[in-house]
Amino acid sequence: MKRKMRSSKTTDSIFPLKVDEFEKILRRKFENNPDLLLSKYEHKGNKMIVFSIPYLVAEEKAEDFILKPLLNKDIEWTNENILNEIPLGESKTFQSLEKILDNLLLGGVFIYIEGENEVISYLLLNKEKRNLEKAETESLVLGPRLAFTESLFTNLNIVRFRIRSTDLVLEKITIGKTIPREVRLIYMKSIANEEDVNTMRQRLLDLDVDEIEDSVILKQYLEDSSTNLFPQFESTELPDRLTYGVTKGKIGVLVENSPMAIVAPANLFSFLESTEDLYMRWHEGTFLRLLRIVALFFSFIITPLYVAVATYQFGLIPTQLLISLGESRAQVPFPPLLEALILEFLMELLREAGARLPTKVGQTMGIVGGIVIGQAAVEAGITSNILIIVVAMSALASFTSPSYFIGTTVRVIRFPLILLAGLFGILGIIFGLSFLTIHLIRLTSLGRPYLLPLYPLHVRDFNKVFYRTPISYKNKLAKAYQPKRLIRFPREEAAKKQDIDE
């Protein structure tokens, strides 16, 4: 049975050529790169050259499945005979030197027979990947700890293993002109809103970039507002977080060479959800979810509130606490505004230094450094001990967020609020919070309001955000995102009823 050759015909063909001439062209192209491996063979008067870049190619496969069969079989060397005798994966033929070089860098093994008009290519990419490990940036107490890797095929394997359904779509898109990179659009065909899927697909196809280094970079291109401080798409290294979002009607994106997945659309409260909530009883899950929401607000309001009260609104402080505050600040030469900014800056330095140092050293640096610097700052009269408690509480509250990105956003927002509090007191804080609320109301994620289900109001979906319901209600989807159906995995009777209602 003859194999049909897939040819990329072009008008800029340089063939036919002598093998020696072709070798000179290749060596000239790679004159400053010693990695090109060329081998010339001759059989019954026919000359052939085989070339590849060794570390990009699975050399054992190239040796066993291409060279040995080709050299051991007594056949006439022609492109047609080689393609018939070596039916290995997807073979292609090229005429353009530019395309040959591009595919050579993608892990291709090329065969050229003297006098032929095309070069045969077999893709035998040597895929290097690290082993599956537990998540590092998203710590968990309960639930699977498996994390994505830089191998797209490994990540797709994990997703397929977790969602064993023909309803799952893994749509392939290639992005990048100079360095093409494979991207997969992931969604449930019978659940995901078609408008959301089309919007995400169109944004991916419209990207005009040379390369995409990582999914976190891609996310910035795809978001509704790339200049906005708030993250509008979720980024996660946890497969169960991606698959849970996909089965709820959201859209996932995986990028080649990236260990992070994108989940969209998202709202502000999506970044406060943790997969641990699913594995706890609904009482504990509700408590932790509410705790994170309160901590988010607490983390960026408590330090500005201290500055406002200590600067202008003394009457709001109880008498005993006011006496303690006065004694604590008696030796401090700075106004509360400058004092708070100095201490917050020191806290950010400690946090960043602890994150960049090796794990064990970073933990020691964070604990010991915080204690030593805090105590020394109080004794030196740079800051009051009450402010150290306030800043420490603010930092602890920001650590409760499961998402690193929203935690960083809160840290940035805290500084403008401190400035407003120092300049205008509580009125400045109210102005800052009002501006922030208006900003969040105007913000969207994949065209969906960022404050769902608060704005627009969808009381029915509060159990998907602010609290958890018993496990028997887990199968219902959020109506605010307008999925194709409101039941996640309907039984036959429920599916019929859903169709009748629609």
**pLDDT grade, residue 389 (50/70/90)?**
confident
The confidence band for 385, taking pLDDT boundaries of 50, 70 and 90, is confident
- Average confidence (pLDDT) over 339-343: 89
pLDDT at 495 over 50: no
Range in 7-21, 57-71, 345-359 with the lowest mean pLDDT: 7-21
Mean pLDDT of 148-161: 88
Q: Is 484 exposed, middle or buried (0-12, 13-18, 19+ CB in 10 A)?
A: middle
Is residue 351 over pLDDT 70? Answer: yes
Give kind and range of the element (H or E) at residue 352: helix 336-356
**pLDDT score recorded for residue 3:** 45
pLDDT of residue 2: 43
Predicted confidence at residue 284, as pLDDT, reads: 87
Sign of CA dihedral 374, 380, 382, 386: positive
- 257 versus 7: the higher-pLDDT residue is 257
Share of the chain above pLDDT 70, in %: 89
Q: At what angle do helices 385-398 and 404-424 cross, to 10 degrees?
A: 150
pLDDT at 9: 47
Q: Which two tokens stand for residue 430?
A: 């109210």
Report which of residues 104 and 254 the model is more confident about.
254
Confidence of residue 493 (pLDDT cuts 50, 70, 90): very low
Tokens of 493: 């009777």
pLDDT in tens, 292-315: 999 999 998 999 999 999 888 887
Among the residues of 47-125, which ranges form H helices? 59-62, 68-72, 79-85, 97-104
**Over the stretch 401-429, which tens digit does the pLDDT of each residue have?**
888 889 889 989 999 999 999 999 999 99
Whether 364 has a pLDDT exceeding 70, the answer reads: no
Structural contact between residues 440 and 230, judged by C-beta atoms closer than 8 angstroms:
yes
What's the mean pLDDT in 339-350? 86
Among 174-178, 254-258, 414-418, 498-502, whose mean pLDDT is lowest?
Answer: 498-502
458-469 pLDDT tens trace? 888 887 888 887
Give the integer Cα–Cα distance in Å for 460 and 158: 33
352 pLDDT higher than 90? no
The pLDDT of residue 205 is 93
pLDDT exceeds cutoff 70 at 362: no
Reading the block at residue 500, the tokens are 């009748």
For range 375-402, the mean pLDDT:
82
5 confidence band (pLDDT: 50, 70, 90): very low
pLDDT in tens, 165-220: 888 999 999 998 888 889 999 999 989 999 999 999 999 999 999 888 899 999 99
pLDDT cut 90: percent of the chain above it: 25
Under the banding of pLDDT at 50, 70 and 90, the label for residue 273 is: confident
Q: How far apart are CA 184 and CA 193, in angstroms?
A: 17
Name 46's bridge partners: 43
Residue 441 has pLDDT above 60, yes or no: yes
Give the three-state DSSP class for 495. Answer: helix
Range 395-406 average pLDDT:
86
Burial class (CB in 10 A: 0-12, 13-18, 19+), 40: middle
What's the pLDDT score for residue 419? Answer: 95
Percentage helix, strand, coil, to 5, in the chain? 50, 15, 35
Nearest C-alpha neighbor of 412 from the set 402, 398, 425, 423: 398
- Segment 460-486 mean pLDDT: 76
Strands lying side by side in the sheet with 91-94: 6-8, 91-94, 119-123, 108-113, 46-52, 37-43
Asked if the model's pLDDT at residue 265 lies above 80, the reply is yes
More confident residue, 421 or 99: 421
Residue 367's pLDDT is 63
Q: How far is CA 374 from CA 183, 310, 368, in A?
A: 47, 20, 10
Residue with more model confidence, 11 or 103:
103
pLDDT of residue 6: 46
pLDDT value, residue 432? 94
Residue of higher predicted confidence among 86 and 263: 263
What local confidence, expressed as pLDDT, does residue 502 receive? 46
> In the predicted model, what is the mean pLDDT of the chain?
83
Q: How confident is the model at residue 434 (pLDDT cuts 50, 70, 90)?
A: very high
Q: Lowest-pLDDT range, 99-103, 138-142, 198-202, 219-223?
A: 138-142
Measured distance CA(234)–CA(252) in Å, rounded? 9
Q: Does the structure show a pLDDT above 80 at 485?
A: no
pLDDT for 368: 63
Looking at residue 383, what is its pLDDT? 81
